[in-house]
Structure 1
Amino acid sequence: MNELQVLPTPARGPQLWWGMLFLFLVLSGLVYGAFSLNAWLDDEQQLPVRDIQISGKLTYLVKQDVELAIRRNQPGSFFELDIQRALQDVEALPWVYRASIRKEWPNNLHVHVVEQQAVASWNGDMLLNIQGGTFAAAVPEGLLLPKLFGPQGSEQTALQGFHAMQALLLRSDVQVDELVLSERFAWNLKLDNGLRLNLGRDEFIDRLQRFVDIYPLLQKDQRQAEYVDLRYDTGLAVGWKPASAATSG
């Protein structure tokens, strides 16, 4: 009868400790590598944003101002740069209407800018763009803009009225130099020849058409008109400059 022999179990203590030590070293290496990689990515000397390419039709905006707006509040690291923050900083520049920013590997940025298009000054301290929105910017030298005034919130109404009147005045060879929209939404104009028009609140386009129709007669008159009041259902009233003022003018 064969006897069953039970072999002694080899001691596993040393192998277990070596296995745990190996696992610890692997995990430590991974943690150290992650920290090292993060530190390397944060280090702007390792991968800084080197080139900021700016595109778009720019007339009054300076490219250096766009680059400075991005770098002023951002870390130098390409990976750490916050696109949303950079976009806010660029769009806060006076002449920027809209912008987009994207990262380009390995360490460049591309910024596309749509510049504000100023069509008029607004209330003496702001500018109006073609959408009827206001923005604050210094008027560049040589840029002549019509002056629009009106209550807060009436920007688009004033701009639409201005465009309609300007189109109507084209064939009379005069332009709107100043437009005032009162609190009661009455329209007053000053033309580029100094003549003032009072159009009132209602049917101001029809009233301006009446002025266009009689303007050739005013030009033929030896007297010089100072203002024309068109707040009548029919007809108008003309105020004449004194003879001395008309002669000196």
Structure 2
Amino acid sequence: MIKLNTKSVQFWSGVVFLLLVLTGMVAAGIKTYEWLQDEQRMPVQVVDFSGDYKHVDVVKLEKLIRRSQPGSFFSLDVNEVYQLVEAQPWIYRASVRKQWPNKLKIYLVEQIPVAQWNDDMLLNPYGETFNAAGEGLVLPKLFGPGGSEKTALEGYNAMQSLLVTMGISIRELSLSERFAWQVELNNDVQLNLGRQEFIDRLQRFVDIYPLLAKQPKQVRYVDLRYDTGLAVGWVDETENNNKEES
């Protein structure tokens, strides 16, 4: 007859009990996790957009977010939503956070377009490009080699601050590979400013233009690439007649 040690029985009974408790806790944890992940039980019911925006289609953006994050409130990854939102063309900055029990709050800072860049991109006030549709926007056109966006925009702003006193604005600005400046104004006058001291040269144009505007012929271009003085080209009479006929 086998005699069981009382202490041994108590030990193994305790081990079995502990295993049963741990198994129950694991099962309960799995059930709780599945419950929390179930979109039908804890859905994200509200996506709340705020901020100052007019080009962002928040209806489409919400659909995009819900397709990328189809799970429950608890399974939704805020970092992934943040990256998704900031990847949209018209979004400059965004913040994303959850709000218990069923809300996702998104604050948007929209890109502000100030110019077209090389006919295929837009520029924001910081000289950064973004690829968004610019249909219907009336913006100056800036052209230049890659990496010169900030230089071109700074030059544009400096020139425009001089021209605005005359009621004239820049329609197009071109910066060559050698960083020479050419400008087309909204009155069809073209300016060749060269590479150096382009603001001083533009000031020379501002000073002399009232006299040029009084002439019987229309100014076509002004070449300011001289230490002193300038060269003026005039619109031919036949060109004026062709414009009137068209």
Structures share a fold, TM > 0.5?
Answer: yes
Q: 2:228 aligns with which of 234, 237, 246?
A: 234
The 2-side partners of 1:68 and 1:156 are apart by 35
2:117 counterpart of 1:122? yes
2:46 counterpart of 1:51? yes
1:4 is matched with: none
1:222 is matched with: 216
- Residues 44-193 of structure 1: pairs in structure 2 closer than 5 A: 44-141=39-136, 143-193=137-187
What's the offset of the Cα at 1:100? 0.6
What's the offset of the Cα at 1:187? 0.3
Length-normalised TM-score, structure 1: 0.91
The 2-side partners of 1:104 and 1:176 are apart by 47
Counterpart amino acid of 1:219? A
2:27 counterpart of 1:38? no
Secondary structure, aligned partner of 1:55: strand
The 1-side partners of 2:150 and 2:71 are apart by 42
What's the offset of the Cα at 1:238? 0.7
Counterpart amino acid of 1:132? G
What's the offset of the Cα at 1:240? 0.8
Secondary structure, aligned partner of 1:45: coil
Using the aligned pairs only, state the percent identity: 55
Counterpart amino acid of 2:209? Y
Counterpart amino acid of 2:230? L
The 2-side partners of 1:80 and 1:100 are apart by 18
Runs (4+) of structure 1 exceeding 6 A deviation are: none
The 1-side partners of 2:193 and 2:12 are apart by 97
The 2-side partners of 1:137 and 1:40 are apart by 41
2:197 is matched with: 203
Secondary structure, aligned partner of 1:81: coil
1:194 is matched with: 188
Structure 1 residues 228 and 25, CA, compared in 2 at 3 Å: closer, same or farther? same
The 2-side partners of 1:19 and 1:73 are apart by 48
Secondary structure, aligned partner of 1:23: helix
Secondary structure, aligned partner of 2:74: coil
Number of matched pairs: 240
The 2-side partners of 1:81 and 1:41 are apart by 11
The 1-side partners of 2:86 and 2:240 are apart by 49
Q: CA RMSD in A?
A: 1.7
**Structure 2 unpaired stretches of 5+:** none
On the 8 A contact 1:229/1:236 being kept in 2, the answer is yes
Counterpart amino acid of 1:213? D
The 2-side partners of 1:16 and 1:128 are apart by 75
Counterpart amino acid of 2:217? R
Structure 1 residues 49 and 43, CA, compared in 2 at 3 Å: closer, same or farther? same
Structure 1 residues 175 and 11, CA, compared in 2 at 3 Å: closer, same or farther? closer
What's the offset of the Cα at 1:226? 0.7
